[in-house]
Amino acid sequence: MTFRAEVVVQLKPVVNDPQGIVVRESLLRLGFDGVRSARVGKHIALEIDAADEASARESVQRMCEQLLRNPVIEDYRVESLSAAAEPASAL
């Protein structure tokens, strides 16, 4: 079965985020006065084959641990995981 997973990798709250600071300053300059903070992270959308949802989730978590996030400065969370309609490439 094919599953679609979405992973969010964000800088830990204690880590300085220069990109987020620039985004906030740019928004303020554009007139969005209400912006208190902006933090920029990564969003990774995966399509994976797995036997069932539990093993898909376990597999995505191991991908995060091994490759997708830098454990020193980043946190991750698996935002969503669901069975996908068979992708076009497999038809």
The verdict on 10 binding its own copies (CB under 8 A) reads yes
Distance CA 42, CA 75 (A): 11
- Minimum separation from the CB atom of position 24 to its own copies (A): 8
Q: Name which position in 52, 71, 83, 87 contacts its own copies (CB under 8 A).
A: 87
The verdict on 16 binding its own copies (CB under 8 A) reads no
For 29-58, b where at least 16 C-beta lie within 10 A, e where not — what string? eeeeeeeeebeebeebebebebeeeeebee
Distance CA 19, CA 84 (A): 33
The verdict on 45 binding its own copies (CB under 8 A) reads yes
What does the binding site for its own copies look like in residue numbers (CB under 8 A)? 2, 8-10, 20, 23, 26-27, 30, 32-50, 59, 62-63, 66-68, 79, 87, 89-90
